[in-house]
A and B are shown apart, each in its own frame.
Chain A
């Protein structure tokens, strides 16, 4: 690896690392939440006591 390659390497990979780290973080943040089990989830006491709104 010549001096020129080393210079490019030192410039390129930190830049790329930052871009990929940002991309990975964004992908992690925007990841959809795990699916909740359908209607089987027990309602809380407050939910149970609160009447369903009339449509």
Chain B
């Protein structure tokens, strides 16, 4: 690790990002409610709450859709990486917007004096066996519970405590939450509101998430196939920015970061030994490959952290053939020297 290690902290960029996020939510909900009130003025307080339920629910679902497209977008273009680094804040805010939506539902029943109906609907409902008419609030509560679990464990403390492997597996539940919430909308407001725009927007969002995942997977599959003698073609040395890396994908899906430091080329696993951070998105500082997440450092030559630290990364053999850098996708033992000079 780095001598100057610091946990990820608030910085100006994160504050700007969060300010934009919160402003976006306020603007979305405000515009939705103003537009709704102008088009169909609410008759009473309960109708206002109904409008608020729709505004917050739409906002939370839109945010969840954006969160799920960030991953494939960054795999398609590195321009979206700043969104990826701040995705956890986006997720936590999404949970709070969803919580406000759920609170509004409870508020609506409270204002109507029908709280017992809500309890009955959740606990003693004969429609659990039906498809159309299935209690959508149970679906919403399931999605909200998953979002809570993910938001509560989003801090780096939990990443270290649960270990990166368990933490990542847990956070894959977001896909389950999205599926449950698509059905929450499809069996809820889409059945009540006959206008065409609801299925169009819901189906469009779902198709966008699915389509981008497919496109990213297809692109990586193509890149993995660009190989000679089972070695992966990376490109000309100049195609790798100095002190930066290009990430290539091995046929088994493993990501390999190919760095260039002047005339030295070396390939390391893309997973940092600390918390599985994306090493290839970092850069070389003071001659050491530095992870963008927490500043852990490794020598390009052999993937070892400088003394007194002991972390070691798997390295990969590289070669220059016909002016093109190629990588052997078979990982070497962590700490094995494998970089080359191309001068």
Q: Which of A1-54 contact B (CB under 8 A)?
A: 1-10, 12-13, 16-17, 19-21, 23-24, 26-28, 30-35
Chain B binding site: helix, strand, loop or mixed by DSSP? helix
Roughly how many angstroms separate A19 CA and B164 CA in the complex, as a whole number?
Answer: 29
Stretch from B11-19, B47-55, B91-99, B178-186 that touches the partner: B178-186
Roughly how many angstroms separate A32 CA and B192 CA in the complex, as a whole number?
Answer: 8
Q: Is B210 an interface residue (CB 8 A)?
A: yes
Roughly how many angstroms separate A31 CA and B213 CA in the complex, as a whole number?
Answer: 29
* Known interface pairs A6-B253, A10-B217; A27-B168 also in contact (CB < 8 Å): no
* Closest partner residue, chain A, to B249 (CB atom): A6
B179 & A16 in contact (Cβ 8 Å cutoff): yes
Roughly how many angstroms separate A19 CA and B176 CA in the complex, as a whole number?
Answer: 11
Which residues of the other chain, B, contact A35 by a CB distance below 8 angstroms? 194
Which residues of the other chain, B, contact A3 by a CB distance below 8 angstroms? 252-254
**Contact size class for A?**
20 to 34
CB-CB contacts of B195-210 with A at 8 A, as 1s and 0s? Answer: 0000100110010001
B132 & A27 in contact (Cβ 8 Å cutoff): yes
A24 & B182 in contact (Cβ 8 Å cutoff): yes
**Contact size class for B?**
20 to 34
* Closest partner residue, chain A, to B209 (CB atom): A17
* Known interface pairs A5-B165, A10-B217, A30-B131; A20-B182 also in contact (CB < 8 Å): yes
B202 & A4 in contact (Cβ 8 Å cutoff): no
Roughly how many angstroms separate A24 CA and B143 CA in the complex, as a whole number?
Answer: 16
Which residues of the other chain, A, contact B132 by a CB distance below 8 angstroms? 27, 30
Which residues of the other chain, B, contact A1 by a CB distance below 8 angstroms? 168, 271, 276
Roughly how many angstroms separate A32 CA and B187 CA in the complex, as a whole number?
Answer: 11
Given A24-B202, A27-B190, 11 other A-B residues pairs in contact with their CB atoms under 8 A: A2-B164, A4-B165, A5-B172, A8-B169, A10-B217, A12-B175, A20-B206, A21-B210, A31-B191, A33-B194, A34-B194
Binding site for B on A (CB under 8 A): 1-10, 12-13, 16-17, 19-21, 23-24, 26-28, 30-35
